[in-house]
Chain A
Amino acid sequence: AQSVSQHNHHVILSEAASLELGCNYSYGGTVNLFWYVQYPGQHLQLLLKYFSGDPLVKGIKGFEAEFIKSKFSFNLRKPSVQWSDTAEYFCAVTVHTNAGKSTFGDGTTLTVKP
């Protein structure tokens, strides 16, 4: 069965600092990888995704993530965070051979201080 591990439970940064949130998954086959974000009081929404091709993917609001297959990792990055990036971030993996079943990590809460 697949699993997802997010290393940081809570990250606190000042505005303009750089961000990297770790995500590792365990599954040996073909996967799709996602980062979802939940802003305070809002629904979970898609931030970015990796299906195939270029392992560096770009999402909304200046976020990007890099898929490193050899490390089973899909870390999220942003060069300069803003106060409005305060949210909870979830990494998820979907396995094609398992009816598209998705597994989520436990999330990382990001607090950006103004």
Chain B
Amino acid sequence: EAGVAQSPRYKIIEKRQSVAFWCNPISGHATLYWYQQILGQGPKLLIQFQNNGVVDDSQLPKDRFSAERLKGVDSTLKIQPAKLEDSAVYLCASSPPRGSPSSYEQYFGPGTRLTVT
């Protein structure tokens, strides 16, 4: 089974520029998560999708961050404009459908390391 795919793996941009990250979850996984992981901290949930609907985006800075999951499969996360404090690893994860034995287990991608200068 193919894992969660993310691209790009690394990105360096200047502040005030925009950037987009892409995630393709494991086939059949209904739940998709985007996390921000700042160095020395644990992953912080930005947004959670169930199929193509948002179930939690309470920690997403909506003035600059946006995310979509068209057709309930792959997803993009965008930052516009970027700030220095956005430098972090952005992780995508997916989980099997609710009701399956492993429905709350998360499978993570390799992450995108963003550096804002």
Tell me if A102 and B110 are in contact (CB < 8 A): no
Tell me if A34 and B109 are in contact (CB < 8 A): no
Tell me if A106 and B55 are in contact (CB < 8 A): no
Bin chain A's interface residue count. Answer: 20 to 34
Complex-state Cα separation, A49 to B105, whole angstroms: 8
Contacts of B33 in A (CB 8 A): 102
Tell me if B106 and A102 are in contact (CB < 8 A): yes
Bin chain B's interface residue count. Answer: 20 to 34
Tell me if A104 and B105 are in contact (CB < 8 A): no
Tell me if A103 and B50 are in contact (CB < 8 A): no
A residues neighboring B (CB under 8 Å): 4, 6, 32, 34, 36, 43-46, 49, 51, 90, 92, 94, 98-107
Taking A44-B93, A46-B106, A104-B44 as known contacts, 20 extra A-B pairs with beta carbons closer than 8 A to each other, sorted by chain A number, are A4-B42, A34-B106, A36-B106, A43-B109, A51-B104, A90-B42, A94-B104, A98-B56, A99-B55, A100-B31, A100-B98, A101-B48, A101-B55, A102-B45, A103-B45, A104-B35, A104-B42, A104-B43, A106-B40, A106-B42
B residues neighboring A (CB under 8 Å): 3-4, 31, 33, 35, 40-45, 48, 50, 55-56, 91, 93, 95, 98, 103-111
